[in-house]
Amino acid sequence: MDNGAEFHSHYFDQLLATYACTKKHRPPAYPRFGSVVERLFRTANTQLIYELLGNTQLTRKHRCVTKSVSPSKQAVWTLIVLYSALLSWGYEVYEQREHPALGQTPRDAFNVGIALGGSRLHRRVEYDNIFRILTLPAPQQSKRKIQPGQGVKIHNIYYWNNEFRNPEIEFTSVDVRYDPWDAGIAYALVQGQWVECISKYYQYFKGRSEKEIQLVSAELLARKRLQGHNFINSDRELVQFLNSVELTEEKLLLQRLKNAENKSVLQLIEDPSIVRCVSDQLHSDFENNSSEVNLLESENNYLETDQLMDIKNKLVSLEYYGEF
């Protein structure tokens, strides 16, 4: 693997040690050590990404970019549709097309390799709940002290599990993980077992992402500093402020829309069986609405369409998350 900071973290090393994996880094500034994956990236770009409407290859010749062909005006691919298209290209086009270097399709080459070397099922890492917990991020200080009657505190929010009632573990520090897509739950390593911890205000934090909590916390802290306070007292104070800005903060609504898009892709990754039906449905909607794209020819029509889409997105956001 490359030398990204995430691949040098203590938590990544812990994950690899749990599943008895050996980590090897390729030398920096020597891309040929990753030639296979780099070549795949280039092939995906030239055969798929550069052929999509709204790609930015034209910006390399900025003098040729006019308002009618500007990539910013042609950006119609959402994240979930792009992910579905990438899967379709990878598994239905590239994998089943004869490769000039192999003399056969990549799928056939893979099956031949499995037949010769065996599937080695004992080396597979199961995508179970433990694996998911170990891949979750940890706060800056990975251990949190168990406070009697309150639990562990992560990002100004207390999380509780009935295992914390044990007097032997009160005031002890335990390893914790949090879900970046759901601030209502967290996980703690108690006596060698990962347990799920629930926030006291779960009904308000459920489905809230880490970035949403950061936005709200930063805004709340900025307002409290005007009053001479430099910290947030409790998670109840955070909930009260969250509800007060729910329908008025544009940044918060925009972040929730982005989170909804990311969550849809994560659901497709965890359940590949629904990729095909989602892809077909979205492509059908795209074709039905293709005539609306022509309205972007003039600047006035573009602004009008953009405003309508902004209103529509806000309504979808409120419907998705419910009323608080």
Query: Is residue 235 scored above 80 in pLDDT?
Result: yes
pLDDT at residue number 278: 54
35-53 pLDDT, tens digit each: 888 899 999 999 999 999 8
Distance, in Å, from the CA atom of 224 to the CA atom of 312, rounded to the nearest integer, reads 33
Mean pLDDT of 79-96: 90
Query: Is residue 253 scored above 50 in pLDDT?
Result: yes
User: Which residues pair with residue 188 across a beta bridge?
Assistant: 176, 195
Q: Residue 190: which H helix or E strand, with range?
A: strand 182-190
Range from 108-112, 252-256, 292-296 that averages highest in pLDDT: 108-112
Q: Residue 258: which H helix or E strand, with range?
A: helix 250-270
Reading the block at residue 47, the tokens are: 């055969």
pTM of the model: 0.71
- Percent over 70 (pLDDT), the chain: 82
pLDDT at residue number 293: 40
CB proximity list for 144: less than 8 A, separation 6 or greater: 152, 153, 154, 173, 174, 176, 188
174-217 pLDDT, tens digit each: 999 999 999 999 999 999 999 999 998 999 899 888 888 888 88
Residue type for position 248: T
Helix count and strand count (H, E) for the chain: 12, 6
